[in-house]
Homo-oligomer: A and B are copies of this chain.
Amino acid sequence: MTASSSELLARIRGSRRELARLLTRVENDQAVAELNELYPYTGKAHIVGITGAPGTGKSTLVNALAKHYRVQNRTVAILAVDPTSPFTGGALLGDRIRMRDLSGDPGAFVRSMATRGSLGGIARATADLVRVFDAAGYDLIMIETVGAGQSEVDVARLAQTTLVVEAPGMGDDVQAIKAGILEIADILVVNKADRPGVEATVRALRAMLDLGHRAERVAHHGRQMKVDSAAPVDEFAAWIPPIVQTVASDDKDEGIADLAHKLEKHRQYLIETGVLKYREQARITLELEDRLREVLLQRLIAQVGRAQIAALVQQIVDKRESPGEVIATLLARSAESAETRG
């Protein structure tokens, strides 16, 4: 532990304003050194992803969970990621509700990330923000996303435990299926469980789970030979996602204690079976590859120059060179440039 890192650590643990400032620098990709310094102090938080379609009461549920943890004197950070298009307005995550209930509580921190840039960029920034919260000492970090596709899957990969939230009577019974996010669920929550149709939703989810469980087993057996020997043998068989019914609203909080208990159980399962380390390894590998792709591309652009690349794009558009030929050219130039420098 260097003096500077323990100082930085003390600063973000001691001051919400310092923490908020660092989060902003991280989001703007201006805190590489700080992230390096803080990294050794990460790894203690329980990182939970919460996703689901708009209208399932996701934000209110996150809020209720946060309050439950606060009563037990555990600290909570909420990171709301909203990768929606300008079309839907982007205000789907209920910040105002949360602000009202949690503001002024020094053990809770709420941060919204207005998503700019690419999907990959969002996932990278989210990973870094979570690490800052983790180093800052928050016990529970909840990442909340709107369930609308690949971005959720990417963000959910960052979580140790992923909740998929449904609600009865949302038209198509089970929204999660369409987005293909059911398979990332560690715990399924049917929120607004005091509404009519709750039994049908639970039944539909259970049927999907049974189907999925079988499919996963088949997939698992199919690739068994290729599986890393370090993989815990019963990763797929051991945890069957429970379905928890909740009612989270202004005047009711039902099933929240049960949900918190299931969260704890899942974390225990992850640690005791070794699945946590195994998944962490897989996740870090993906993250490293993703960051390298981006860094290597930026290095090549710097080596070759944007004008040169634009000229080559024009060659492709004009059908004078194929994409494959241009890539070969660029790789050769980047190798030359490395040699000249060396």
Contacts and interface: CB of A to CB of B under 8 A. Distances in A.
Nearest to A184: B85
A177 B317 contact: no
Contacts of A218: 86
A325 interface: yes
Contact of A87 (B212, B314, B335): B212
A179 interface: yes
Interface stretch (A248-256, A260-268, A291-299): A291-299
Interface stretch (A35-43, A94-102, A136-144, A190-198): A35-43
Interface string A261-303: 0000000000000000100110011011101111111011000
Interface residues of A, number: 75
A180 interface: yes
Interface stretch (A64-72, A146-154, A231-239): A146-154
Contact of A317 (B151, B170, B277): B277
- Could you tell me the dominant secondary structure of chain A's interface residues? helix
A319 B87 contact: no
A21 to B, nearest CB: 19
A326 B290 CA distance: 13
Interface string A325-342: 111001100010011011
Contacts of A39: 319, 321-325
A208 interface: yes
Interface in A156-179: 170-172, 177-179
A86 B178 CA distance: 12
Nearest to A312: B288
B150 A151 contact: yes
A43 B87 contact: no
A185 B224 CA distance: 42
19 contacts: A32-B324, A36-B322, A84-B180, A86-B216, A87-B177, A87-B208, A171-B172, A281-B314, A284-B323, A285-B309, A285-B310, A288-B312, A288-B326, A289-B297, A293-B293, A296-B297, A299-B331, A335-B338, A338-B342
